[in-house]
Chains A and B, each alone.
Chain A
């Protein structure tokens, strides 16, 4: 009787009409368990009964049935239980149906599911009744017991919910296997699909959630709620989602999403989990080298990226010359990176938006995470403030390098400084069902010295308030107030007489209001308005100490107001075609109080050509720039696993960094567009194809783009950009073009996960003018400093056991362009070099391999903390990858040097625990 006591079996009910022969039986059960009764029926009739022991063990029966059909006998036996049954040929399947039935609305549905385990019995059983044999598929029957339905199609509807949190899952794709028919859930997680009567296998998938495949046998209109689990299994395996939505379905082109939780196994230098470093392994996002701050997105300059942390700008999201990012990995939730289509609500930078969101802290319990690495310590605490109502998350990260330096014997290093910290706090408050308030505050600071007499420091400070309101079921609004500040300073204390304190300071205050309105099933509108006031103190110098003879000097403050109106419509024409059309109209006013020079007509902007100076009073408009920015993208879905997207995007940028370095640096000042410096402009055309294979196991994408750039900024050789009141004399504006192809293959499932990214990209600038001093390379196109044609990243994680995994990065980049000396000459008795055309040569190619082992603590539920060890070696091959070359005249002789940042393998152990 072993076959009757299976522990777990597939439940199935069919209404396929099947006329039983009307054989009658007589049984007498006297105070025996239902199980025994059923076993008796099983043995004394031709029927085989299927049930789970637990359902029937506790029921005690005393009854006698006389000359009844099997149907009636079972009805009698089960009438006091929650059990239901179905007779299929000679098999009788018992179900725990009535519990569900009692919960049903007027059109009840009948659903239950028991995952089959590897039990041959059930499978045999299953295959016998299935017309489309598939293993491991849950089956749901939607039917009426009154077997009277004659309609040929029925409607299945319901919600998709996160099984853990109960939150609705939007943009879930529900596909009817074997057909091209599918539907998606709306913002509230609702869906509805028409199905012919009979059997269908539906696949429901959303990124970050476990894919659910369910067989429906449908004989009536019904409801079914997909309860999806978060992709727990994949959490440590899948590093990056192309998007929170299925990569195939979204309308916007060139969007990547990085979930912080999913990058912890990627080995990074000195063990810091780093959302922005991981971003650079994606095709289309690169950095100019190990010691370069800033990111280059599709040929964009470092200052063309907008970094938003909970809606407020961060001007320099890096620590330590870009070796670490200043975004605390433990408090961050995810980064959404827009490198192709920019939603119309974003603007002000040409190349990309990094929209980084902070986690919402748990409102139920105290949680935390602590990490101890060789350079930094990091603590994150989440706590409810008012239970179920409001919560706070706080993250603090700091270096102990200063402490290490102080304890060294080396007197040269004792006075050195190299430290940073960042602090973030976010408060979230559910005011009521329809109103949410969140407040974020952030501060980061770096202090370091390069020589003993000068201390450099820089800091970001920001605060933002977001009020999200659900006006009605179709309309949501967001009111944002944000303030951010970027400062840097240099304190020089050498010989007393020229000691100084130099400072730069930038502040912006933004207010924005946006509405998201679901007009109908086909149109989702977003519109809003925002305005941002910039205040920049471009530089001031003050004497330091009493003996200093430095004369205080300050470059006039700059102020500007950037405002924008935007509207966009996500238009779903049909299941296959959707269009996102946005228009942003931005306007920039450069405001007084200031003075602006007047230069002679048709002459270069030099001191010698000044013919006058105009004075402007406070808030007087000096110059206005305005223009439309078009954000258009379209997607066509060939089937749920294959789509094509095209986009056109234009952007304007009114704030620029001034830098005559080949790579970005934290002491680059920012400058607003003024009478002479026109806003930078960009337009991008992009096209991509996206394909998923084997469910979402493999994701493939191929994207191409072409960009036109206008009014890009560059600087005269050796130009003085700091403390220069009339910086326009050093600025060149040119144009540029960028183009490239990006390929990404991801494997999301299995023991081996990871991705392979390759990009071919070029970025060329042209600086041409009628005046030779404003021309570079004879006015021809030349590669930008960060023009890296080939870039290949392979990021892999191999899971050995549930607790151990191995990971590795393989990074290859073409060397970036450099300007090399092509000869030397003597002047004033000293020898100097003559340089080639700008960026005529390249430094050697970059190649690096990192390896790591990740050890998860064991998963005992009652354990206080969950620990995670990461042991990694950065640059395992110890390859000396040159970062820059430079040429020095020392004692009348020219010398060439090459610098590299990480020249040896860097081993790291990081310990991390979560509670």
Chain B
């Protein structure tokens, strides 16, 4: 039943948007800079083993400062999965912080799995045990025009799922979305610099730059549950909302929706993690704090904070395609904002100007500038993303792609 509650929490977002006339004018939310104070390096362990036969994966990293770009990886750790208390499989590090099982396997029913990690400095971490929950099936996926909680128009990708669980399930969804990109200002030829000159020849492009595909993995925590629902079905669950002005749905869009049935412990963890990461109501801030998972330090269980959760899950996935026109018959799709401009060939100091941009691969040819003004050159160009789809995707058609 708790799934229906989600809006209570998540709709508290953007308190400012419309809270009374005067408050709106008087109150203010401003972004502040985050500086790292009292930094402590903590270990972060992520491990989700599924009932899919594959090399299962464990990621280990450490917390990092706000001034740093990304996490430092925990390398050279010893990672062991235990089944009913006995070592079952070892993991090997294939890239820094990323460990995969030395053999392929699928998690089995009625076995208690535990994860043990020993870092290279000899500290040991162990998880509580996790058992495979029931399975669930994505029955279908659909798309429909809708609005988000702020009234912005867009599309909802909805799913119906079934389950064999009598008592309902806890779900976590992840997805990979792939969308077609068509460069709006593409033409078959382009500018090629002439050596020792600021001018160009015009020639056919060497590779496909009109139609591309891009694939993005979900990062948001998407949860649902059917606890207390006798049929254990999720009906019209919104797995993804995309605003109508987002160009990823301008042409054709595909989503590979992965549904994990996860243990309650993991569900609670992710639910709280999400709760702690969404924006608050202007007037009441959720009490933040350390969120404990199910992994503890063996040496100092009371003092060392460990981030992360180990769990086993059943997985089921389904792919779905739709076109802009399937949703919006009469509405033009959104476009990447593009402008045409004609930079001079040379700068005031005599150095090449347009050539710099062409060499840096930031513009594409769009035509002759027949009537240049004083500061303009002979070629109309557009920014690369407008004339070359590989700026935002790959020109290789994915295997799964269906037109």
Contact = CB atoms under 8 A, between A and B. Distances in A.
A100 interface: no
Interface in A799-849: 819-830, 832-836, 838, 840-841
Contact of B42 (A502, A778, A834): A834
Contact of B30 (A375, A785, A830, A897): A897
Interface string B266-304: 001001110111111111111111111000100001110
A723 interface: yes
Contacts of A828: 46, 174, 219, 221
B8 A717 contact: no
B52 interface: no
Contact of B282 (A291, A449, A549, A718): A291
Interface string B67-88: 0001100000000000000000
Given A500-B4, A717-B276, A900-B28, A776 B289 contact: yes
Interface in A667-719: 715, 717-719
Given A717-B272, A823-B36, A887-B288, A903 B278 contact: no
Given A819-B289, A834-B307, A452 B22 contact: no
B7 A494 contact: yes
A292 B283 CA distance: 6
A663 B278 CA distance: 17
A608 B131 CA distance: 13
Contacts of B26: 901-904, 906
B64 interface: yes
Contact of A418 (B20, B34, B42, B282): B20
Nearest to B273: A832
B236 A320 contact: no
A495 B238 contact: yes
A888 B279 contact: yes
A127 interface: no
A620 interface: no
Contacts of A869: none
A726 interface: no
A450 B289 CA distance: 25
A415 B290 CA distance: 38
B37 interface: yes
B146 interface: yes
Given A451-B14, A826-B70, A826-B71, A401 B21 contact: yes
Contact of B62 (A416, A454, A825, A832): A825
Contacts of B44: 825-827
A54 interface: no
B217 A822 contact: no
Contacts of B30: 897-900
Contacts of A773: 292
Interface in B37-59: 37-42, 44, 46
A75 interface: no
A408 interface: yes
Given A723-B1, A896-B33, A902-B27, A825 B276 contact: no
Interface in B115-162: 146-151, 156, 158
A750 interface: no
Contacts of A897: 29-32, 279
B12 interface: yes
A412 B8 contact: no
B21, B33, B272, B287 — which one has the most chain A CB atoms within 10 A of its CB? B287
A894 B68 CA distance: 12
Contact of B156 (A495, A723, A824, A889): A495
A495 B7 CA distance: 11
A412 B18 contact: yes
B71 A498 contact: no
B101 interface: no
A886 B280 contact: yes
Contacts of B32: 885, 896-898
Given A550-B4, A663-B283, A836 B38 contact: yes
B291 A718 contact: yes
B163 to A, nearest CB: 15
Given A401-B22, A418-B21, A717-B288, A903 B1 contact: no
B12 to A, nearest CB: 6
A177 to B, nearest CB: 54
A899 B290 contact: no
B289 A823 contact: no
B309 to A, nearest CB: 9
B24 A413 contact: yes
Contact of A448 (B4, B7, B19): B19
A665 interface: yes
A375 B39 CA distance: 46
Interface in A742-795: 772-773, 775-776, 778, 785
Contacts of B22: 270, 374-375, 401, 906
B374 interface: no
A713 to B, nearest CB: 12
B36 A822 contact: yes
A772 B128 CA distance: 14
A832 B276 contact: yes
B254 interface: no
Nearest to A539: B5
A490 B281 CA distance: 14
A235 interface: no
B150 A901 contact: no
B235 interface: yes
B2, B7, B62, B146 — which one has the most chain A CB atoms within 10 A of its CB? B7
B65 to A, nearest CB: 6
Nearest to B25: A904
B271 A823 contact: no
Contacts of A885: 32, 285
A663 B285 contact: yes
A776 B288 CA distance: 11
A887 B236 CA distance: 31
A522 interface: no
A835 B5 CA distance: 25
Contacts of A497: 158, 235-236
A412 B273 contact: no
A607 interface: yes
Nearest to A904: B26
B66 interface: yes
Contact of B289 (A550, A722, A838, A902): A838
A451 B271 CA distance: 21
Nearest to A375: B22
B67 to A, nearest CB: 10
Given A448-B20, A835-B288, A904-B26, A829 B70 contact: no
Nearest to B279: A888
B37 A841 contact: yes
B289 A404 contact: no
A578 B306 CA distance: 59
B20, B31, B41, B238 — which one has the most chain A CB atoms within 10 A of its CB? B20
Given A607-B264, A836-B38, A886 B285 contact: yes
A600 interface: no
A896 B280 CA distance: 11
Nearest to B28: A903
Contact of A903 (B27, B158, B303): B27
A627 interface: no
A214 to B, nearest CB: 53
A408 B219 CA distance: 38
A795 to B, nearest CB: 23
A453 B17 CA distance: 12
B194 interface: no
Contact of B283 (A321, A785, A888, A903): A321
B240 to A, nearest CB: 12
Give the 10 A-B CB pairs with smallest separation, nearest first: A718-B272, A418-B20, A717-B289, A661-B284, A416-B18, A889-B277, A665-B284, A830-B219, A291-B283, A823-B63
Given A450-B18, A661-B285, 15 more contacts: A291-B283, A449-B18, A450-B19, A495-B156, A551-B228, A665-B281, A723-B2, A776-B289, A822-B40, A826-B71, A898-B30, A898-B32, A899-B29, A901-B27, A903-B28
